[in-house]
Amino acid sequence: MNKLRFLVLEDNPIDVKLLQLALKKLSIEHDLVLVDTYGAFLAALESDYFDLILADYYLTDFNGLDALKVTRARMPNIPFILVSGLIGEEAAIEAIKLGATDYIFKQRLGRLVPSINRALHEAQERRELEHTQQERDRFFMLSLDLLCIAGLDGYLKRVNPAFVNALGYTEVELLAQPFIEFVHPNDRALTITEYNKLIAGVPTKSLENRYRCKDGSYKWLSWGGNQIIDEGLIYSSARDITERKIAEQEREQILQREKAAREEAERANRVKDEFLAVLSHELRTPLNPILGWVKLLKTGRCDATRTQQALDIIERNTQLQTQLIEDLLDISCILQGKLTLETAPVNFNNVITAAIDTVCLAVDAKSIDLQLDLPSFSIQVMGDATRLQQVVWNLLTNAVKFTPQNGQIEIGLSTLNSNQEVCFTVSDTGKGINLKFLPYVFEYFYQEDSSTTRKFGGLGLGLAIAKQIVELHGGSISANSLGEGHGARFTVKLPLLKQQINKEDYFNSASYVTASILSGLNILVVDDEIDSLEYLAFTLEQNGAKVTSTSQASQALQLLSQSNYDLLISDIGMPEMDGYELIRQLQTSTLQKNTPLKAIALTAYAGEEDQDQAIKSGFQMHLSKPIEPDTLINAIIKLYDNQPNNQIIRLP
């Protein structure tokens, strides 16, 4: 241990000797530095450090109180003991007030050593306490945790820089109001409960709450705290757990989304399974009367009336089967994003009346009161007339299907939003829509009742197709119902075409077919299905065309090498040589001079890829089977109606 250094202020040599003798009894090694003037005293304080000062009261040019004042100003914690033979009681009291550690009468120097030992011990304790406090303050200031000291009055007394930086307030702002004001309203009750426990002496091991930042956001903090009863203060520490909380919330959201996605996938699979069961039923149902009546007709035992009835039944069920297939093809195109429109100005009034014509027999059969509210003037939209009529027809047929005998259907057409939109509505007094099913009414493959005991048939695709068609036209469709037994209302909104445009000026196309419209056309038809070949040849001949037909592509090549034809209509899927190979061979140098000016691919392969492949192979048009006579003839007219070669044309 280093020697201690004592500064002795004494100008009497005899008293110095007495002090030295008294200090020999001190067990602590020390050195003495003697000064007897004020200048020497100041110089010693400036140049050296001392562990203790012993001062006489009366000195040559100053006194002990002066020395005490200087010492306390420069070295406030150094022990200072007055040693004097003439100090009075008042001077002694004054010395103690000024910070003297003790005063010793020279006549009683026996008290000096115990006084020094006590003073040095107290000084050491103060130094250790100060060191501890400095370490504590350093930890408080440098800690990355949020540290604070709170009083029992609900106010913060001190916060560390981490606390300030985390919340963005200054320390003054944080101490100016009760800390509970910074806590999120939803967390205050829990925070107050824990605070009251702390006041009662129960430590807080874990508390999570949200503190408001200066920018108005909140941060999640995790707290621990304890009360120091003697000080009447609560010491607390917190950590910012905002990122952890956000991660937990995101994880919970992901789990919820995964759960919802899993439930949705299970629902979708269930719906698809139900749809496939319905599809099988709906596709098979029309085949039964078709096959049955065909077999009866082949027996030749049906009279004319029964024969006509049979043909009507076969036609009706064939059309039903065709509609089912068309719906499936439409859904396929929609799911691939390849449903195309042929837009032109459309008189929406005419679209509605045409659709009404198709359902009027069913309306009359059920004695339904059909109310029309159509404007006297024409309302035009830009769109595909066929697709728009498909939407209107679907809504009308649904209304008729689900409206009971003697029910009522209301059809309305108007403009909205200062003539910006067309609004078409269909309301009925029918079955209504279950409120649980209402959100799914426009979904694919979803039916309110897909059981084997369901009352109403169909695939449940019509509304899904209608929704996609309306949205492709830039419009919207919605359904409303108060529930089962309260009817339903469907609303279609489309952009209004303000400027009336003459359709013929916009898109020149034939819309009426006469009996001899194909007169002069020399057509070669190729199809390996004999029934289809005969149907096509008969249809074309009835409309004035000269037709040559063959069931083999190789024979078609031979016919083309011998004669010129205006139009080739060929099936795609044929044995030995398909329609693609046929059109490719026609484009070779030897046959190119006899290649027809136009070529139509007619096939049961109705996918978008099949249409593209047909066009790329050299066909100008692709038609999908089955095809009605009017559709076939109009397609040929359209092909020859100012259409440039190789333009892609797709018809239903």
User: Tell me: the pLDDT tens digits for 523-560?
Assistant: 999 998 888 888 888 888 888 889 999 999 889 888 88
pLDDT digits (tens, 9 = 90+) for 221-232: 999 999 887 788
Is there a contact between 186 and 233 (Cβ–Cβ < 8 Å)?
no
**pLDDT of the residue at 271:** 63
- Mean pLDDT, all residues of the chain: 83
C-alpha dist (Å) from residue 463 to 321, 432, 460, 479 = 18, 15, 7, 10
Distance between CA atoms of 69 and 64, rounded to whole angstroms? 9
**pLDDT of the residue at 509:** 41
Query: Does residue 316 carry a pLDDT above 70?
Result: yes
- Phi first, then psi: what are they for 35, rounded to 5°? -135, 150
Please give the structure tokens belonging to residue 6: 């004592």
Distance between CA atoms of 524 and 543, rounded to whole angstroms? 15
**pLDDT of the residue at 33:** 93
CA-CA-CA-CA dihedral for 123, 125, 128, 131, to nearest 10? -60
Question: Would 4-138 and 522-650 be classified into the same CATH topology?
Answer: yes
Range with the lowest mean pLDDT among 120-124, 222-226, 455-459? 455-459
At position 163, the amino acid (one-letter code) is: F
- Phi first, then psi: what are they for 242, rounded to 5°? -60, -45
**pLDDT of the residue at 563:** 84
| Superfamily for the 522-650 domain | Response regulator (3.40.50.2300)
Please give the structure tokens belonging to residue 209: 């709450």
**pLDDT of the residue at 282:** 57
**pLDDT of the residue at 320:** 66
Query: Does residue 209 carry a pLDDT above 90?
Result: yes
**pLDDT of the residue at 529:** 87
Query: Does residue 42 carry a pLDDT above 90?
Result: yes
**pLDDT of the residue at 606:** 66
**pLDDT of the residue at 188:** 95
279 band by pLDDT with thresholds 50, 70 and 90: low
| Superfamily for the 143-240 domain | PAS domain (3.30.450.20)
Across 64-129, the runs of DSSP E, i.e. the strands, are 80-84, 102-105
Instruction: Report, as an integer, the average pLDDT of 324-352.
Output: 74
**pLDDT of the residue at 114:** 92
454 band by pLDDT with thresholds 50, 70 and 90: very low
pLDDT digits (tens, 9 = 90+) for 161-191: 999 999 999 999 999 999 999 999 999 999 9
Instruction: Report, as an integer, the average pLDDT of 267-279.
Output: 66
Range with the lowest mean pLDDT among 45-59, 272-286, 484-498? 272-286
**pLDDT of the residue at 511:** 38
Instruction: Report, as an integer, the average pLDDT of 381-398.
Output: 86
**pLDDT of the residue at 480:** 94
**pLDDT of the residue at 646:** 35
Q: Which residue has the higher pLDDT, 313 or 276?
A: 313
Domain boundaries along the sequence of the chain: 4-138, 143-240, 266-335, 344-506, 522-650
C-alpha dist (Å) from residue 35 to 40, 44, 82, 199 = 6, 8, 15, 56
| Superfamily for the 4-138 domain | Response regulator (3.40.50.2300)
Q: Is the pTM of this model over 0.85?
A: no
Residues 266-335, CATH architecture: Orthogonal Bundle (1.10)
| Superfamily for the 344-506 domain | Histidine kinase-like ATPase, C-terminal domain (3.30.565.10)
